[in-house]
């Protein structure tokens, strides 16, 4: 038997079906050859691995030298050789979706990584647009617009109540509870015009996000240097009036994952008293039904955001700040507990 692999001659077309061409030996090479012509010994298929390159070869089911093995090898030869890198990619594409479905922790890590990565990417788009105006609080509208769709990506329904409490023309200080970086979604849902958040200075160094925040006029404070932080906030009190700016503060001063509210820092309340502007408390209901950093849980769900009635500070002085801080916290905590219960009752399955 003469096979192309054997290199001794071409098989007769009368006794064998036409030889299926190897995917590596282009048919046009053979097209012009008269039948019965002996072919010279065939060189290794052109798409086989170059010397030294590692690859996995599909085993010959017929032992390698038989008719079937020869034909199969001719058909499959070269084309089914899969590199280690391709195997890794195939395994990755199979394992990742399975893990995503089976492991809640893996899902959590994927979703958080995408969340951060996506915001870093959006910031890349936002930077040149914001840069046209330079550092300007109006740029916050651009960031808001760019972030609004994220709730849909994550299947988070945000229900807002109390819009009427935002019907104030003048400046004010917004204070809200701080559970996680997901607060950004609720914040962007209701962010009033010319309103900038106060953020920890570390965020300024968070790559593209830091630059986008800076361009949008975010006020950065150094929490490690109380005096610096206080002087930045005192400056903010003047800027609020001079430049018609509203400020959003997370008075807990850090993210709080334990389903309640930390004691409030007093900076936001000093700010409102110094600027003699009202405080508008915002409460976001607990995320625990759909998100928990501790339990590594992140599913779809519902969050309620409530804009509470303004609290006046006109006539108050620094001496009134401790009592003001406590009374605002009490009001917010009771709304938080009520809303979180309500959200849970309305959506007992966590939205999954």
Ligand X SMILES: CCCCCCCCCCCCCC(=O)SCCNC(=O)CCNC(=O)[C@H](O)C(C)(C)COP(=O)(O)OP(=O)(O)OC[C@H]1O[C@@H](n2cnc3c(N)ncnc32)[C@H](O)[C@@H]1OP(=O)(O)O
Contact residues: ligand X, CB under 6 A? 119, 122-123, 126, 143, 146-147, 178, 184, 197-200, 203, 209, 212-213, 218, 221, 223, 226, 229-230, 233-234, 249-251, 253, 265-268, 270-271
Q: Distance (Å, rounded) from C-alpha 212 to C-alpha 190? A: 19
What tokens does 128 get?
């040149």
113 binds, among ligand X, ligand UBL, none (CB under 5 to 8 A by kind): none
What tokens does 90 get?
């195939």
Q: Distance (Å, rounded) from C-alpha 316 to C-alpha 209? A: 37
Q: Considering beta carbons, is residue 249 or 283 the nearer one to ligand X? A: 249
Smallest separation, CB 248 to ligand X (Å): 8
Question: Site residues (CB under 6 A) for ligand UBL?
Answer: 116, 119-120, 178, 181, 184, 200, 203, 206-207, 209, 250, 254-255
Beta strands of the chain (E only): which ranges? 55-56, 82-83, 156-161, 173-176, 195-200, 219-221, 246-249, 279-284, 291-292, 297-298, 301-307
Smallest separation, CB 112 to ligand X (Å): 15
Q: Reduced to 3 states, what is the DSSP secondary structure of residue 196?
A: strand
Q: Considering beta carbons, is residue 72 or 175 the nearer one to ligand X? A: 175
Spatial CA neighbour of 188 closest among 136, 218, 143, 135 = 143
Q: Considering beta carbons, is residue 105 or 254 the nearer one to ligand UBL? A: 254
Q: Distance (Å, rounded) from C-alpha 127 to C-alpha 32? A: 61
Q: Considering beta carbons, is residue 72 or 282 the nearer one to ligand UBL? A: 282
344 binds, among ligand X, ligand UBL, none (CB under 5 to 8 A by kind): none
Smallest separation, CB 102 to ligand X (Å): 32
The residue at minimum Cβ distance from ligand X is 267
Smallest separation, CB 73 to ligand UBL (Å): 51
Smallest separation, CB 124 to ligand UBL (Å): 12
Place of tokens 């023309």: 169
Spatial CA neighbour of 277 closest among 162, 195, 332 = 195
CA distances from 101 to 116, 201, 287 (A): 21, 37, 21
206 binds, among ligand X, ligand UBL, none (CB under 5 to 8 A by kind): ligand UBL
229 binds, among ligand UBL, ligand X, none (CB under 5 to 8 A by kind): ligand X
Smallest separation, CB 116 to ligand UBL (Å): 4
Smallest separation, CB 71 to ligand X (Å): 58
CA distances from 245 to 174, 195, 319 (A): 11, 6, 25
Q: Considering beta carbons, is residue 183 or 347 the nearer one to ligand UBL? A: 183
Contact 212, 130 (CB under 8 A): yes
How many residues are listed for the chain in this entry? Answer: 352
Q: Considering beta carbons, is residue 119 or 339 the nearer one to ligand X? A: 119
Place of tokens 């077309």: 13
């Amino acid at each position: 038997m003469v096979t192309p692999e054997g290199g001794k001659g071409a098989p007769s077309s009368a006794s064998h079906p036409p030889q299926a061409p190897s995917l590596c030996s282009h048919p046009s090479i053979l097209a012009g050859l008269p039948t019965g012509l002996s072919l010279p010994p065939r060189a290794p298929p052109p798409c086989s691995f170059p010397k030294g390159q590692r690859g996995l070869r599909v085993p010959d089911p017929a032992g390698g030298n038989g008719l079937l093995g020869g034909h199969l090898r001719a058909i499959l030869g070269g084309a089914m050789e899969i590199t280690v890198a391709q195997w890794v990619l195939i395994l990755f594409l199979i394992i990742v979706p399975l893990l995503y479905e089976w492991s809640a922790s893996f899902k959590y890590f994927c979703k958080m990584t995408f969340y951060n990565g996506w915001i870093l990417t959006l910031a890349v788009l936002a930077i040149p647009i914001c840069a046209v105006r330079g550092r300007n609080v109006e740029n916050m509208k651009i960031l808001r617009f760019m972030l609004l769709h994220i709730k849909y990506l994550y299947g988070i329904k945000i229900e807002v109540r109390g819009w009427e409490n935002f019907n104030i023309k003048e400046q004010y200080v917004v204070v809200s509870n701080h559970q996680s970086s997901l607060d950004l979604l609720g914040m962007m849902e209701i962010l009033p015009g010319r309103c900038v958040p106060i953020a920890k200075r570390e965020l300024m160094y968070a790559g593209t996000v830091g630059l986008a925040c800076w361009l949008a006029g975010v006020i950065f404070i150094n929490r490690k240097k109380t005096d610096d932080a206080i002087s930045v906030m005192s400056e903010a009190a003047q800027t609020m009036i001079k430049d018609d700016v509203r400020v959003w503060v997370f008075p807990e001063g850090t993210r709080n994952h334990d389903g309640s509210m930390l004691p409030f820092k007093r900076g936001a309340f000093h700010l409102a008293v110094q600027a003699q502007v009202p405080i508008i408390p915002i409460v976001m209901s607990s995320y625990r039904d759909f998100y928990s950093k501790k339990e590594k849980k992140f599913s779809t769900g519902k969050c309620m955001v409530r804009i509470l009635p303004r609290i006046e500070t006109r006539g108050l002085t620094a001496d009134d700040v401790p009592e003001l801080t406590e009374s605002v916290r009490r009001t917010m905590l009771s709304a938080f507990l009520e809303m979180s219960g309500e959200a849970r009752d309305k959506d007992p399955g966590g939205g999954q």
